[in-house]
Structure 1
Amino acid sequence: MTRHSPNHPLLAEALKLFFPVAAAHAVLLPLIWVTVLAFDLPFARQVPAGQWHAHEMIFGTYGAALAGFLGSAMPEWTDTKPRRGRALLLLLALWLPGRLIGFLGADALIVPATLTDLAFLSLLLVYVTGPLIERRTTRHGSFAVWIVLFALLELSIRAAWLLGETALSGRLLQAALAVFLVFLSLAIARINVVVVNHALDPSGETTPYRPHPGRQNLTAGLVGLQLVAALVAPDSAAPAWLALAAAAAFFDRLAEWFIGRAVLRLEVLALAAANAFGGLGFLVLGLAGLGAPLAPATGLHLLSVGALGLAVMAVFVIAGLRHSGRDLVLPPAAKLALVLMAAAAAMRVLPELGIGESLLGLHHALAAGLWSASFATWLVGFWPILNDPRRDEGGCG
């Protein structure tokens, strides 16, 4: 694949192309799903429309965000040249067919969608492992392992759909969400060091913040254990207890943000809030699994909209600025996008938890509107920033 300098700034590195693509997908998909299609899809027959929707949010929106993040972060971490130009366009071309098929819920086209999605993840794996091989290092190699697992889950979900095993595919979709929560945990552990040190000393002359080594991988490990238990023993109490353990790890990790007044900077607070949503999501899942009058779907939306949505938006803001030659000073669009995302998460789950029950039913459309508005605000505000050819080699992690 070519690594020559591209003619357009958006093709200079992965995040400049895939973050806007992911944002555009995120703007359209939930809003159309809730307000236009009324929770249905025109060509979904055997596969439940809700599973198509969940798949496209995970493998579509978050899949593109993952490609942008790792495609830029791995070269940065290894001090190698990023993939550019046609190499990125090829990756996008492999991502797009599955999204078009998923948008329609076309059961008849599951096989070609599977092939292109697996090709997309395989090429992403090549792009991620290439710098590791070039530097002959295994550091950050865990991301490659999780991409392989993500690809295996994609294959398994599609196979379950073809076989009509929708109960199994539902569990596999939750496992795919858990894999993204592992990515979230690993990524925040790296990004938060840069963000908090900048908040404490914007001059960059000192690095007063050091993360607790015991907390860096604990949440990822417990989420992984809960993922395995939910797959192999879904009817036992083990997944519920492990969900509570994962929740405790997320809440314990909030101690990383005990940094005084600097925590009130929105970029710092957003990462902390994403972590808190992760803890709340696993808490609800654990309590629901042990018989509490809570819906597991509420816990899943705390994780997918709250934890992942806010974390992805924070990464879009932080990396978008740092990789475009800007200081980490949030413009109004960035602040508004983060606030809207937090509001979307709150709107999606609070009525189901007994707060604002009068909005039940309407809360789906309101949350979808806030979610779409968040990504649209970021896209409009950061489009000129990402199109600026300046680049800060310091990066974000």
Structure 2
Amino acid sequence: MSQPLRMISEPTKQTLSSKTRLNQQLNSTGDLSNRPGEMDHIKNSLPAQVLDFTQLPIWDLAFRPWFLISTLSSVLSIGAWLLFLHGHLPALANTGLTPLAWHIHEMLFGFGATIAVAFLLTAAQTWTQKRSLNGSALLCLTLIWLMVRTLLWSSDHRLQVIAIVLQGIWWLTCISFLASMVFSAKSRRNYQFIPLLSVMMLLNMSFLIADFTGDTKFALHLAHIAILTFGLLVGIVGGRVIPFFTERGGQNATVTATPILDKILPVLTIIGIGVFAMSQFTRLPMTPAILLIGAGTIHLLRLLHWDPLSTRKVPLLWSLQLAYFFLGLGLIMLGISFLTHSIAFADALHLITIGTVGGMILAMIARVSLGHTGRALKPHPSLNMAFALIFIGTATRFLLPLFEMSSLGWDISAVCWIAAFSLFIWHYARILMSQRVS
């Protein structure tokens, strides 16, 4: 079995000692340049109050502030979207983005992509043994992120341009920092995340420009491509961590490696995304249906090799397995939606956006937040309900529209999302803002 993605699980003594040496070598601002005099000059130019603030625990690593504000933003965004659907928030129709585009952008990029970047920047410190983004730089990027969320509500063209520029700055800074870490450490198995995030950045920027300029149809197509790309990212990360965690934490788990499937899956997925992307511009001799169904089937075959039944009594594991299941099922249903009108593309897509993106993120941030703050991997019992709510919301969002109860399906799934991530915020806000436990 290849070396797993080690970013949260119980560290070995060797890892602990490496981290200790790392912390001794790096100053409190996370300097990577080995030029302390230069950093002292920067420190001395900052007010003491700012230095004190940036040294609070929440600015230690990207997962701390971004897990917290992204989940809070998702709760508020879903709440606003639900109010708009019922005619109680007409102001949403007067923002720079069209209402549907705003909903997609805030959930896919404002929430999902932000969590993914925070996760990778945090994991990269373990991969590379180099200090990751922290302190004043992390604070600045957080403020930029918050400014984008605010400016997207504006209908002023100049402010819209500023929002796009700031969103680009956020992406470029994050990707550049991650790239500098993995390339300098020659962490070759993690090079793939740089082009993946770069594609997400380009899709994000193009999405905003397209909708701001009135081409909402093209913006939605770009969003669909981004969701499929996010699924590719989940397939890569999930393929590393789920079998590893299951083997270590499942009850008598029997995990089997799937090297052939692991090689076929990303190639098939990338071809499928490419065909789907081109279908918007030209008539192709084939639809993405077979490719999407094939990729979804391979995901489910991988999952069968990871002994999912062994995780049924471990919430941090069965939640990961079930989120991955919805990726396979979602891709299959997306493929079928090209072949029949009985399944709507948007309904099938929510199997991935809620079940996979929402479910995988909730399971991972619940684990990462404990592991990277030195706490035991035992979430509060109410998190079990949070995991269940996400998957209940996924099922109702997909199934009820089949019985002509779309509005009820939207309402239930939205309420489930709000309740699930509110539980996370309630139990984890203090943890994310507190010192690491010895």
Same fold (TM over 0.5): yes
Deviating more after overlay: 370-379 vs 259-268 = 259-268
The letter of the residue matching 2:222 is L
For structure 2, the residue ranges without an aligned partner over 5 or more in a row are 1-27, 32-50
Aligned counterpart, 2:78: 30
For 1:200 and 1:370, locate their aligned partners in 2 and report how far apart those are by CA, in whole Å.
27
Aligned counterpart, 1:266: 315
Identity of aligned residues (%): 23
For 1:53 and 1:47, locate their aligned partners in 2 and report how far apart those are by CA, in whole Å.
9
TM-superposition CA deviations, 1:122-172 (whole Å, max 9, x none): 011012112113213322011111111111112222332244322221111
Report which of the two structures shows the higher radius of gyration computed on alpha carbons: 2
Distance change in 2, residues 1:95/1:47 (3 Å): closer
Aligned counterpart, 1:71: 121
TM-superposition CA deviations, 1:41-99 (whole Å, max 9, x none): 53547853212211111110112212220110111112222221112112212222221
Distance change in 2, residues 1:341/1:230 (3 Å): same
The letter of the residue matching 1:57 is M
For 1:218 and 1:309, locate their aligned partners in 2 and report how far apart those are by CA, in whole Å.
26
C-alpha contact (below 8 Å) 2:342/2:402 kept by paired residues: no
For 2:357 and 2:325, locate their aligned partners in 1 and report how far apart those are by CA, in whole Å.
11
The aligned runs of 1:1-397 (5 Å cut-off) are 2-3=29-30, 7-36=55-84, 38=86, 41-44=91-94, 47-103=97-153, 109-200=159-250, 209=255, 211-216=257-262, 218-234=264-280, 236=284, 237-258=286-307, 260-354=309-403, 359-390=405-436
For 1:106 and 1:349, locate their aligned partners in 2 and report how far apart those are by CA, in whole Å.
36
For 1:95 and 1:391, locate their aligned partners in 2 and report how far apart those are by CA, in whole Å.
28
Give, in angstroms, the shift of residue 253 of structure 1. 1.7
SS, match of residue 139 in structure 1: helix
Give, in angstroms, the shift of residue 229 of structure 1. 0.9
SS, match of residue 190 in structure 2: coil
The letter of the residue matching 1:98 is V
Deviating more after overlay: 156-165 vs 60-69 = 156-165
For 2:173 and 2:230, locate their aligned partners in 1 and report how far apart those are by CA, in whole Å.
18
C-alpha contact (below 8 Å) 1:348/1:363 kept by paired residues: yes
Calculate the aligned-residue CA RMSD, in Å. 2.6
Give, in angstroms, the shift of residue 305 of structure 1. 0.8
C-alpha contact (below 8 Å) 2:337/2:345 kept by paired residues: yes
For 1:326 and 1:208, locate their aligned partners in 2 and report how far apart those are by CA, in whole Å.
27
C-alpha contact (below 8 Å) 1:323/1:391 kept by paired residues: no
Deviating more after overlay: 245-254 vs 260-269 = 260-269
SS, match of residue 427 in structure 2: helix
The letter of the residue matching 1:307 is T
For 1:219 and 1:308, locate their aligned partners in 2 and report how far apart those are by CA, in whole Å.
18
For 1:260 and 1:43, locate their aligned partners in 2 and report how far apart those are by CA, in whole Å.
46
SS, match of residue 131 in structure 1: helix
Distance change in 2, residues 1:107/1:376 (3 Å): farther
The letter of the residue matching 1:23 is T
The letter of the residue matching 1:54 is I
Deviating more after overlay: 317-326 vs 150-159 = 150-159
C-alpha contact (below 8 Å) 1:31/1:365 kept by paired residues: no
C-alpha contact (below 8 Å) 2:97/2:152 kept by paired residues: no
Give, in angstroms, the shift of residue 197 of structure 1. 2.9
TM-superposition CA deviations, 1:253-288 (whole Å, max 9, x none): 212322653444222211111111112211221111
Distance change in 2, residues 1:116/1:185 (3 Å): same
For 1:353 and 1:146, locate their aligned partners in 2 and report how far apart those are by CA, in whole Å.
34
C-alpha contact (below 8 Å) 1:41/1:104 kept by paired residues: no
C-alpha contact (below 8 Å) 2:251/2:310 kept by paired residues: no
C-alpha contact (below 8 Å) 2:145/2:167 kept by paired residues: yes
For 2:192 and 2:107, locate their aligned partners in 1 and report how far apart those are by CA, in whole Å.
23
For 1:241 and 1:260, locate their aligned partners in 2 and report how far apart those are by CA, in whole Å.
29
Aligned residues: 385
C-alpha contact (below 8 Å) 2:354/2:394 kept by paired residues: yes
The letter of the residue matching 1:151 is M
For 2:133 and 2:95, locate their aligned partners in 1 and report how far apart those are by CA, in whole Å.
39
For 1:382 and 1:154, locate their aligned partners in 2 and report how far apart those are by CA, in whole Å.
29
SS, match of residue 299 in structure 2: helix
Distance change in 2, residues 1:43/1:32 (3 Å): closer
For 2:311 and 2:323, locate their aligned partners in 1 and report how far apart those are by CA, in whole Å.
17
Aligned counterpart, 2:38: none
SS, match of residue 311 in structure 1: helix
Distance change in 2, residues 1:195/1:41 (3 Å): farther
SS, match of residue 238 in structure 1: coil
